[in-house]
Chain A
Amino acid sequence: MDIRPEDFERFEAYWSGEMLEPNRQQLEIDLLVDPLLQQRFAEYKRIREGLDQLARKEVHKQLKALDQSLDAIPQHRHQKVKSKTRVLFLFGGLAACLSLGWLFYPEGYSVDNLPHEEGIPLLMADQDNRVFDSAMSSYRSVDFSEAARAFSGLPDMEENDTILFYLANAELRSGNSAIALKHFKALTDRRESVFYDKARYYVAMAHWSAGNDREAFGLLRQIAKEPKHPYRHQAQAAVEQME
């Protein structure tokens, strides 16, 4: 059964829901009265359903991969917390729980605690910025490992606040908290930088991610009290989560 071009166009429009109501009704009537058209439509439908199903599978695969990348850090961290908890119960028991430090023992670091950092739109790109664009494009596509690799290869990486900020973010979101911490700390030495305040918050998150919970807790509590800090609410939420 060969689908004619004019039928194909109608089927495409009908299937995608773009057909206007009168045309839609007309096609449905035609399908009722024309057995040949019915056969053509059945053939179109079979292929189209198969293609839609393949597209859906592809999207599902990508969503799963995205989930894995988002879960990568918390899973690692939860394992650490679980084993720490076991050690506490087995050896420390009550004495450890009574010590002030452990009362403030923070749990549950997750990449979900990290605020969304959009990245920079690439609309203004020029020839010289190709490497930067490629890194930023990876960052915006949530491919943080590739973004970190690309950002760290840029020649003015150390001097440029923007590159350093997104490089540090990419490292943190890839689970490399030690490297992220180093870069965020470098930014906190630059008080004039537009990233200064955010970098302080991320220093705390990098500490938390690395298991340096007390440093993280102290910094976050301080940030939560600063009325003008852009991430004071996130810091407060993290403090409450830790408490």
Chain B
Amino acid sequence: MNGYFVSLSMVNEQVYFELYRNCRADFLRWSTFSYNLSSEDARDLYQETFLRIWDNLQKGKLQAFSSSGRTYVFAVGKHVVLDFLSKQQRLVPHSDLSALEQGEDLLQDQHNSDHTSHVIQSGLNQLEQRERSLIELFYFKRLDMHSIAEQLGYKNADVAKKRKYEVFRKLCNLVNSRIKSPVS
């Protein structure tokens, strides 16, 4: 486990944002010229590309990249642009009720997900400062347990890891006390 997070922690924010800045002009030019996108759409899709890269990092699909990861950015970006274009071109007949129902389901999912993250945000706000920092450094900033232990003054990575479990449980309890519906 540690090995993975050590390698992921190398993908620090600076590299990620630097890559964003370095590829941006070329990506906007390429997507605008190659796919006839408006500059506004190109900008939105560039952001979406980097959010997908973030998701891939989060899910372990990408264990490390460096600032020379342009090829990867453009490969992901191409998928994002093509998804966007195919959604735009997709025509939904008025009679296709299943598509409408699907749309409603998606809206409901989005609503539930927004509600959950709102409740979790409230839960985080109720944690003590050090506990919140522990959660944020691990799940948001993607630091490894050694760095977190050092930064928050824990004796070592194992102690920090144990503490993470306890704080996660505390967060679960806080969230459960706010969400009445049963866990599905």
The residue that B117 contacts in the complex, of A54, A62, A112, with Cβ under 8 A, is: A54
Instruction: Report yes or no: A63 in contact with B20, Cβ–Cβ below 8 A.
Output: yes
Q: State whether A43 touches B183 (Cβ < 8 A).
A: yes
B84 interfacial by beta-carbon distance below 8 Å: no
Query: When chains A and B are docked, how far (Å) is the Cα of A49 from the Cα of B119?
Result: 12
Contact with A along B49-82 (1 / 0, CB 8 A): 0110011001111000000000000000000000
Q: Is B25 an interface residue (CB 8 A)?
A: yes
- Which residues, 152 to 184 on B, are CB-close (under 8 Å) to A? 162, 165, 168-169, 171-172, 175-176, 183-184
Partner of A112, one of B1, B24, B113, B116: B24
Q: Are B51 and A43 in contact (CB under 8 A)?
A: no
Contact indicator B51/A63 (Cβ below 8 Å): yes
A18 to B1, Cβ gap below 8 A? yes
Query: Closest CB of chain B to A37's CB: distance in Å?
Result: 13
Select which of A2, A12, A55 is within 8 A of B1 by beta carbon: A12
Query: A47, B175: Cβ atoms under 8 Å?
Result: yes
Kindly state whether residue B135 has any CB partner on chain A within 8 Å: yes
Q: Which A residues between 46 and 79 are near B, CB-CB below 8 angstroms? A: 46-60, 62-64, 66-67, 70
Q: Chain B nearest CB: distance from A118 CB in Å?
A: 9
B-side contacts of A99, CB under 8 Å: none
Docked-complex contact B58 and A52, CB < 8 angstroms = yes
With both beta carbons as reference points, the residue of chain B lying nearest to A55 in the complex is identified as B140
Q: Verify B4–A16 contact, CB threshold 8 A.
A: yes
Smallest CB-CB separation from B135: which chain A residue? A51
Given contact pairs A47-B171, A51-B120, A55-B139, A42 touches B184 in the complex (Cβ within 8 A): yes
CB neighbours (8 Å) of A47 from chain B are: 120, 168, 171-172, 175
8 A-B pairs (CB sep. < 8 Å)? A8-B168, A42-B184, A46-B116, A50-B175, A56-B51, A63-B20, A63-B47, A140-B14
Q: A2-B169, A39-B183, A56-B58 are in contact. List 5 more A-B contacts (CB 8 A).
A: A5-B162, A47-B120, A56-B55, A59-B54, A63-B51
